Amino acid sequence: MAALTGEPQATGEEVSATEAELTESSGAQPMTRAKTRYRKAEFKRGGRLMWTRDTVYFGFNGGKVTSSKGWQANGHIFPNIAQNKGIRRYHATGATHKWRAKNTIGAGVPTPWGSVKAYSKDYMHYITSGRSGAWKWRG
């Protein structure tokens, strides 16, 4: 299956607050507080025939992780299988936000009655985002 899916890729970049669509819970920011910056971290698994992507946006200001949100996307060409099984934040403190994502990638065999699954594999990915803007994917 590795020949079909390729190596997983983790990428990240700094983004604007508008793109991140994250806002601080408190409206006004005191002058002593550092400006909040935003990052996007993505983990993509698959190739041209089937792929899944987990994305997490998070805000940070050097003192804490201010907010985060995550979502999933996928694509596949029949009879291949690429399914998102959920992304969830399971830990949130001022120092870190941690997310867990689950995906399934596989292939099927076309029949006159539809596709019959030949094989599939579940993958679990984890991301940790920190108050300094550092992030790390595992999975």
Q: What pLDDT does 48 receive?
A: 87
Q: What pLDDT does 24 receive?
A: 55
* Lowest pLDDT segment from 31-35, 41-45, 52-56, 95-99: 31-35
- Listing DSSP states for 18-37 in one string gives HHHT---SSSS--TTSPPPE
Asked whether the predicted pLDDT for residue 40 surpasses 90, the reply is yes
State the chain's maximal CA–CA distance in angstroms.
67
* Lowest pLDDT segment from 8-17, 24-33, 116-125: 24-33
Q: What pLDDT does 134 receive?
A: 92
pTM of the predicted model as reported, rounded to 2 decimal places? 0.79
Q: Which domains does the chain have, with CATH numbers?
A: 2-6+36-138 (2.60.40)
Cβ-contact 17, 29 below 8 angstroms: no
Q: What pLDDT does 101 receive?
A: 97
* Lowest pLDDT segment from 21-25, 113-117, 121-125: 21-25
Number of Cβ within a 10 Å radius of residue 107: 19
pLDDT tens by residue, 61-106: 989 999 999 999 999 998 899 999 999 999 999 999 999 999 999 9
Label residue 57 by pLDDT band (50, 70, 90). Answer: very high
Cβ-contact 103, 84 below 8 angstroms: yes
